[in-house]
Amino acid sequence: MNTDDRPPVTVIGLGAMGKALAGAFLDNGHPTTVWNRTEGKGRELVERGATEAATAAEAIAASPVVVVCVLDYDAVREILGAPGTVTGLLAGRTLVNLTNGTPRQARELARWVSGRGADYLDGGVMAVPPMIGNPGSLVLCSGSPGAFTAHEGTLSALGAVDYLGEDAGRASLYDIALLSAMYGMFGGFLQAVALTGSERIPATEFTPLVVSWLNAMLTSLPAMAKAYDANDHSATTSNLGMQATGFVNLLETGRDQGVSTELLKPMGALLDRGVAANRGDDGLSALIDLLRTGPASATDPASATDPAKGADPAKGADPARATDPARATDAGSHDVVSHHLGSE
Ligand SMILES: NC(=O)c1ccc[n+]([C@@H]2O[C@H](COP(=O)([O-])OP(=O)(O)OC[C@H]3O[C@@H](n4cnc5c(N)ncnc54)[C@H](OP(=O)(O)O)[C@@H]3O)[C@@H](O)[C@H]2O)c1
C-alpha cells in the first residue's frame, strides 16, 4: 500500500487511549508526531516510527491535524493555555478533541478554537483502546463540516467515523448518552452479582443468565423509542403501576441480603413519581418524560442549567419537548474557556 501521501497527524496525550490512537495512525502510514506531559510514554511509539515532540507547541506545529486525547477538559485547557503554546500556532490547523467532556464544554472550546483561526472537531470515542483501528471501533464526530470533509480519511484510521453535524456539542451529547446507557447496564450487572454473591453463587456461573436476559430486554428498546417519539406510552404489556409495585421487592431483597440498594433507589423513586403523576397505566417509556421535566434535585448540579427545569410533569404535557436544548444550552452558557485560557 502506498502510504506516502498520508497527511501528518499530531497526537497530544499518550495515556491508554492516546497511545492507541497514535498507534492506529502509524499503522495507517500517517507521519505521526506525539507529545505527552510526562516524558517517556512515547518511547514505544517512537520505536514504531513516531516523532516525539519536546513541547506541546512543537507538536501542534508539526501537523495540520492535531488530535488531543487527555483526561478531561481541564487538561486540554492547561495544554492549550500554556504560555506561548497556542498563539499563532493553531491558526489554519484542525483541532480534533477526543477528550471526554460535556456538550457545553465542547461548544465553548469550539468557539475558542475558531476564534484562533482554527477548525474544531469534537469526538467521542466509543471503544476501548485495544479496539482502536479495528472493526467495532466507532468515533462520533461533530463540528466544522469543512474540516470533517478534509480529514475524514485521516480519522478513519481509528475506526468507523460517524459525523453528526456542525454543532460541536452533538458528538459529546451522543457520547454521554451512550455512556449513560452503558453505566445503567453495568450498574444493573453489579447489583445482580452482588445479590447472587450474597449466597456464594459464583459470578461466572450466574453471568451467562444475565447476558441472555439483557439481550432479550434489549429487543424492547426500539418499541420504547417509538412510543417516546410518538408521545404515546399507553400500549404496553408491562404497566408502570405493576413495575413500581414489583420494584419494592428489589429494594427489600437488597436489604434482606445485606446488599446496598444505592444503585436501585433512584429508579424506584422514578417509578413512584410516574405512578404519582397518574401514569401508572403507561409503559416504561413514560419515565423519559419525567426525567426531562424534573423535579430538579437540589443536589444535582446539572439542574442549574436544565432547560426543562420547572416544567409540568403532568401526563400529556410536554413543555420540555418544545425547548430546543442546543439553543437553550448555547444561549445560557458563557465562555468559560476564554476565562481559563485567556483571549490570547
Ligand atoms: N481508556 C478508555 O477505555 C477510554 C474509552 C473512551 C474514551 N476515553 C477517553 O479518552 C481520554 C483519555 O483516556 P485515557 O484512557 O487515555 O486516560 P489515561 O490513561 O488516564 O491518560 C490520561 C492522559 O491525560 C494526560 N493528562 C492528565 N492531566 C493532564 C494535564 N493537566 N495536562 C496534560 N496532560 C494531562 C495524562 O498525561 P500524563 O501521562 O502526564 O499523566 C495522560 O496522557 C479520556 O477523556 C477518556 O474518558 C477513554
What are the tens digits of pLDDT across the range 124-169?
Answer: 999 999 999 999 999 999 999 999 999 999 999 999 999 999 999 9
Predicted pLDDT at 77: 93
Q: Is the CB of 37 under 6 A from ligand 1?
A: yes
Give the single-character DSSP code of 296.
P
Q: For atom 35 of ligand 1, which residue has the closest CA?
A: 75
Higher pLDDT, 313 or 147: 147
Q: Which of 315, 321, 312 shows the shortest CA–CA distance to 293?
A: 312
Span 48-98, pLDDT tens digits: 999 999 999 999 999 999 999 999 999 999 999 876 666 679 999 999 999
Q: Are 121 and 147 in contact (CB under 8 A)?
A: yes
Kindly give, in sequence order, each residue whose CB lies less than 8 Å from that of residue 257, ignoring residues fewer than 6 positions away: 195, 198, 199
For 195, phi then psi, to 5°, come to -65, -50
* Interval between CA 70 and ligand 1 midpoint (Å): 4
Predicted pLDDT at 3: 62
Three cell numbers, residue 165 = 453535524
Average pLDDT, the chain: 87
Predicted pLDDT at 275: 96
Q: Are 282 and 233 in contact (CB under 8 A)?
A: yes
Element (DSSP H or E) covering residue 339: helix 336-341
Span 33-44, pLDDT tens digits: 999 999 999 999
CA-CA distance, 39 to 83, in Å (whole number)? 19
pLDDT of 23 over the 90 cut: yes
In this structure, which topology does domain 9-168 adopt according to CATH? Answer: Rossmann fold (3.40.50)
pLDDT band at 324 (very low <50, low <70, confident <90, very high): very low
* Interval between CA 340 and ligand 1 midpoint (Å): 20
Task: Out of 66-70, 119-123, 316-320, pick the least confident.
Answer: 316-320
* Interval between CA 13 and ligand 1 midpoint (Å): 7
Domain ranges for the chain, please list them. Answer: 9-168, 220-330
Do β-strands 160-163 and 119-126 pair in parallel, antiparallel, or remain unpaired? unpaired
In this structure, which topology does domain 220-330 adopt according to CATH? Answer: N-(1-d-carboxylethyl)-l-norvaline Dehydrogenase; domain 2 (1.10.1040)
Helical pair 73-80 and 103-114, crossing angle rounded to 10 deg: 10
CA-CA distance, 27 to 268, in Å (whole number)? 49
Share of the chain above pLDDT 70, in %: 83
Task: Out of 16-30, 106-120, 183-197, 325-339, pick the least confident.
Answer: 325-339
Predicted pLDDT at 237: 87
Q: For atom 27 of ligand 1, which residue has the closest CA?
A: 71
Higher pLDDT, 293 or 260: 260
Q: Is the CB of 18 under 6 A from ligand 1?
A: yes
Q: Which of 66, 119, 52, 73 shows the shortest CA–CA distance to 92?
A: 119
Predicted pLDDT at 1: 43
Span 267-311, pLDDT tens digits: 999 999 999 999 999 999 999 999 998 765 434 544 433 333 333
> What residue has cell string 476564554?
338
Q: Is the CB of 71 under 6 A from ligand 1?
A: yes
Rg of the chain taking only CA atoms, in angstroms: 23
For 233, phi then psi, to 5°, come to -100, 10
pLDDT of 182 over the 50 cut: yes
pLDDT band at 341 (very low <50, low <70, confident <90, very high): low
Q: For atom 18 of ligand 1, which residue has the closest CA?
A: 15
Q: Is the CB of 340 under 6 A from ligand 1?
A: no
Predicted pLDDT at 310: 31
Best residue among 21, 69, 71 to mutate for probing ligand 1, ranked by most atoms within 8 Å of CB: 71
Predicted pLDDT at 344: 40
Predicted pLDDT at 331: 32
Q: Which of 325, 298, 339 shows the shortest CA–CA distance to 102?
A: 325
pLDDT band at 5 (very low <50, low <70, confident <90, very high): confident
**Could you check whether the bond before residue 295 is cis, i.e. omega within 30 degrees of 0?**
yes
Best residue among 10, 11, 12, 17 to mutate for probing ligand 1, ranked by most atoms within 8 Å of CB: 17
